[in-house]
Amino acid sequence: MEGRTPPAYWPCNLPSVRAEVIVGDIPGTTSYGSDGNAIAFVIGTTWCNIGTTPLW
Q: Which of 9, 25, 14, 4 is nearest to 51 (CA)?
A: 14
Distance CA 56, CA 53 (A): 9
- Cβ pair 40, 33 in contact under 8 A: yes
How much is the pLDDT for 1? 46
What percent of the chain has pLDDT above 70? Answer: 66
Query: Domain segments of the chain: what residues?
Result: 18-50
Q: Is 24 helix (H, G, I), strand (E, B) or coil?
A: strand
How much is the pLDDT for 35? 94
